[in-house]
Structure 1
Amino acid sequence: MTAVQIILITLVAYWKMTDTNTLQLFAFNTIICGWLVGLIMGDVATGLYIGATLQLMSMGVVAVGGSSMPDYPVAAIIATAIACSTGRGMEAGLAIGLPVAMLGVNFDVIYKIFNGFLMHKEMSLIEEGKFKSFLNVVKIWLFISKCG
């Protein structure tokens, strides 16, 4: 894997996470992420195979309310990059990509807990009339939502 490919794959992952947490202008489902990484790696077929396999795994799994679900698009990004770079095929990529998706569930829970804490802090600052402090909390929340 070259440095340019690593940078492009990182940009795809960043673009996916930023779009998911902001306006959601693009369709970053699992197949699209697998296809984009496959295009970057020069093996579109493997990207589509992995993206479609993970898309089938994610069908019917919905994060309703405060529940969390594995981050299958990130799993597609990692699985495609590993499958194409090692040459061991889809099985090797999925063996690493799925645990990363499951690890994403834990980070999502931590993000939601911290987001709830900040929401209560914002509400108390607004009720006290401390709008300057409220703006500082909003800036912190926006920074964390970009990172998460």
Structure 2
Amino acid sequence: MFVNAVLVGLVAVFCMLDSRLLGRLNFEQPLVGATLVGIVLGDPATGLAVGAATELVSMGLVSVGAAVPPDMVLGGIVASAFACLTGASAETAMTIAIPVAVLGQLLGIVFRSIIAALTHVADAAIEDGRFRAAYSMHIVAGTILYSLMYFIPVFVAVFVGTDIVQAVVDLIPEWLSNGLNVSSKILTAYGLALLLSLMIKKGMTIFLLLGFLLASYLGLSVIAVSALGVILALILMDLKFGKGDGAALATADPDYDPLEDDDE
């Protein structure tokens, strides 16, 4: 069991390094992480099944701004190991994935706070001209902290058993869980506001309000609102560049560029 725990922990670290050192190769996905665990433990089919189930859950969890959603990658890895080692079904493993993901969310908040403090240390080192120390804070220390954040809980969960993970989650006070949930929603709204402040233009505000009204008062899903947005965009493009003045001007002047000349 010790060897299995180490191997699964290393898989978790590898998936974590994807978006931090390797670029974005999509190894840090529940489907990929759980499948890799299945391959390491000799049961890729079970790993793939658990990964698919956790991936479906994670599709509704989006990290926006400073908001930290439940870590379904961590949950999927532990759940996959649990299913592969005990022969449990993917449905049973999902009962483990959610608590572990919540625990990963809490660990993520703690470790990000620590790394934020290291950023100030790196800033001070840069001001003093100690660039090697700043490099160590940014690359070495951050990578080690994130690696420990993934390796330790995965190793403990696999080596000792998933019951201890559930016990740790149950020890979290209700007031703390509620506070974290409320703060995560506030941070999500704040993150969206930051993104909109960079992306939205004066003429696009009406479309934002339209999408909000469709989702809030008509109860349409995100997919439905997105589909309506695509249809509306196609209609507006046809009106502007299809049969409108743009097409007539393009016929009269072969050098006419609607993307440039319409703004003049």
Do structure 1's residue 135 and structure 2's residue 135 form an aligned pair?
Answer: no
In the alignment, the residues of structure 1 paired with residue 137 and residue 122 of structure 2 have an alpha-carbon distance, to the nearest angstrom, of 11
1:26-41 alignment to 2 at 5 Å? 26-28=25-27, 29-41=29-41
In the alignment, the residues of structure 2 paired with residue 52 and residue 59 of structure 1 have an alpha-carbon distance, to the nearest angstrom, of 11
**TM-score normalised per structure 2:** 0.48
Find the residue that maps to 1:95 and give its secondary structure.
helix
Name the structure 1 match of 2:9. Answer: 10
Task: Name the larger-Rg structure.
Answer: 2
Q: Percent identity?
A: 33
**TM-score normalised per structure 1:** 0.81
> What runs of 5+ residues in structure 1 fail to find an aligned partner?
none
Is the deviation greater in 102-111 or in 22-31?
22-31
Do structure 1's residue 23 and structure 2's residue 22 form an aligned pair?
Answer: yes
CA deviation after TM superposition for structure 1 residue 119, in Å: 2.2
1:1-148 alignment to 2 at 5 Å? 3=3, 5-28=4-27, 29-127=29-127, 130-132=128-130, 135-141=132-138, 142-148=140-146
User: CA, structure 1 residues 8+123, in 2 after alignment: closer, same or farther (shift >3 Å)?
Assistant: closer
CA deviation after TM superposition for structure 1 residue 58, in Å: 0.8
Task: Give yes or no for contact 1:32–1:51 (8 Å, CA) kept in 2.
Answer: yes
Is the deviation greater in 39-48 or in 104-113?
39-48
Task: Give yes or no for contact 1:71–1:101 (8 Å, CA) kept in 2.
Answer: yes
In the alignment, the residues of structure 2 paired with residue 11 and residue 74 of structure 1 have an alpha-carbon distance, to the nearest angstrom, of 12
Deviation digits for residues 62-83 of structure 1, max 9, x if unmatched? 1112111222122111101111
In the alignment, the residues of structure 2 paired with residue 26 and residue 18 of structure 1 have an alpha-carbon distance, to the nearest angstrom, of 10
Task: Give yes or no for contact 2:83–2:93 (8 Å, CA) kept in 1.
Answer: yes
Deviation digits for residues 24-43 of structure 1, max 9, x if unmatched? 35321111112111222232
Q: What CA RMSD, in Å, does the superposition of the two structures yield over aligned residues?
A: 2.3
Alignment length, in residue pairs? 144
Runs of 4+ in 1 over 6 A off after TM superposition: none
CA deviation after TM superposition for structure 1 residue 96, in Å: 2.2
